Amino acid sequence: MSKKNKSALTEKDGVSQPETTSKTSAKKIQLKRRKQTPTSEYVTQILKGNITFLSKAITLVESTNAKHQKKANEILEACLPYANKSVRIGITGVPGVGKSTFIESFGKHLTSLGKKVAVLAVDPSSSVNKGSILGDKTRMEQLVTDENAFIRPSPSGTSLGGVAQKTRETIILCEAAGFDTIIIETVGVGQSETAVHSMVDFFLLLKLAGAGDELQGIKRGIIEMADAIVINKADGDNAKNAKIAKVEFNRALHLYPPKENGWVPKVLVASALQHKGIDNIFSMIDTYITDAKKSGFFNEKRNQQNKYWLLETINQQLKDNFYNNPDIKNLLDSEIKKLKESKTTPFNAAKRLLGK
């Protein structure tokens, strides 16, 4: 027996070993290995459309470890020249409107046309209830087995800003991997739809016929963000209601000012379940994108969005630095109390807080 083999770490045959590997440390080792793969290898494989490397790179993007983030940034900057070539579509709607079924039907239609589709999600709440809206991939059982589709659940994270950043970076990686259509799903009840609206070329709002109860959950302002409203579940007894709703929404949208580029939002009906109306929706988006590219609006909007995210990231960080200071937290509470008691004005209170 050589000296080397005398190490205390040598396993003895027949002696059971304690379970020392936790899931967390296994994950760490995996990520460490991933880190050791050179950036150039990641980039080469992603550009080839290698899904395994794409997934690994996204995991690096989503990691909170500083070394992984450094690596992720190297990969991202190397992929950037190959990104930006897709069409990015945002899809929102309250729970129950049939988002998953719609995305499955719409995604299958796209792949049948020879497109490569990536489906991402922005759902900051997923970190709380551990149930990402795309987590349960079984809800898209056909799309998940389609080799031209890539489905990635919402990254976890407590802050919307963090989740949005990770999603934006994932878009770049997917585009570099050759996905020409990126669908970003969000649930239209919180702040996340504003973030998604600021990262897509076209924003689709799914609704149900019978404008009543289902409106309660939706946030004011979403309708004005939409480039199109699709009235889903227009099948069976609902088909007639859907057509009436279409007329009503069309009339309503015409009372609104058109979008910056002159686009008047459209209203369409669809039955994702029966795959009806899906082709019309794609044609509409296709026409919109073609026109937007011709007029230069497409690039202009993407530049504006990049600038928006740059400033938004800075502004968020400035606020975090300020409000996370424990002295400020205490003073803020007491100033808000004073405001309620009419003992100061918001501007004097702000001055005192900034004086700290």
Instruction: Report the distance separating Cα 316 and Cα 122, nearest Å.
Output: 18
**Of residues 107 and 265, the one with the C-beta less far from a second copy:** 265
**Of residues 106 and 203, the one with the C-beta less far from a second copy:** 203
Member of 119, 120, 223, 269 binding a second copy (CB under 8 A):
223
Member of 104, 201, 227, 335 binding a second copy (CB under 8 A):
335
Q: Which residue has the tokens 């729970």?
A: 95
Structure tokens at 94: 């309250």
Instruction: Report the distance separating Cα 17 and Cα 22, nearest Å.
Output: 14
Least distance in angstroms from the C-beta of 111 to a second copy: 27
**Of residues 291 and 312, the one with the C-beta less far from a second copy:** 312
Least distance in angstroms from the C-beta of 345 to a second copy: 6
3-state secondary structure (DSSP) of residue 276: strand
**Of residues 287 and 308, the one with the C-beta less far from a second copy:** 308
Q: Confirm or reject binding of residue 9 to a second copy (CB under 8 A).
A: no
**Of residues 211 and 273, the one with the C-beta less far from a second copy:** 211
Cβ atoms 150, 51 nearer than 8 A: yes
H runs (alpha helix) in the chain: 23-36, 39-47, 51-62, 66-79, 99-112, 126-129, 141-144, 160-176, 192-197, 222-225, 238-254, 278-295, 297-323, 326-340, 346-355
Least distance in angstroms from the C-beta of 212 to a second copy: 9
Residues 167-186 that bind a second copy (CB under 8 A): 168-169, 172
Phi, psi at residue 205, to the nearest 5°? -110, 125
Least distance in angstroms from the C-beta of 208 to a second copy: 12
Cβ atoms 185, 134 nearer than 8 A: yes
**Of residues 26 and 311, the one with the C-beta less far from a second copy:** 311
Site string for a second copy, 298-327 (x = CB under 8 A): -----x--xxxxx-xxxx-xxx--x-----
Stretch that binds a second copy, among 35-43, 97-105, 130-138, 214-222 (CB under 8 A): 214-222
Least distance in angstroms from the C-beta of 321 to a second copy: 8
194 Cβ neighbours under 8 A, 6+ residues apart: 221, 225
8 Cβ neighbours under 8 A, 6+ residues apart: none
Site string for a second copy, 71-100 (x = CB under 8 A): --x--xx--xx-xx----------------
Q: Confirm or reject binding of residue 256 to a second copy (CB under 8 A).
A: yes
Which residues are paired to 88 by β-bridges?
Answer: 182
CB atoms within 10 A of CB 349: 18
Q: Confirm or reject binding of residue 296 to a second copy (CB under 8 A).
A: no
Count of alpha carbons within 13 Å of 63, Cβ hemisphere only?
Answer: 23
Residues in contact with a second copy by CB under 8 A are 73, 76-77, 80-81, 83-84, 165, 168-169, 172, 211, 215-216, 218-221, 223-224, 248-249, 251-252, 254-259, 303, 306-310, 312-315, 317-319, 322, 335-336, 339-340, 342-350, 353-354
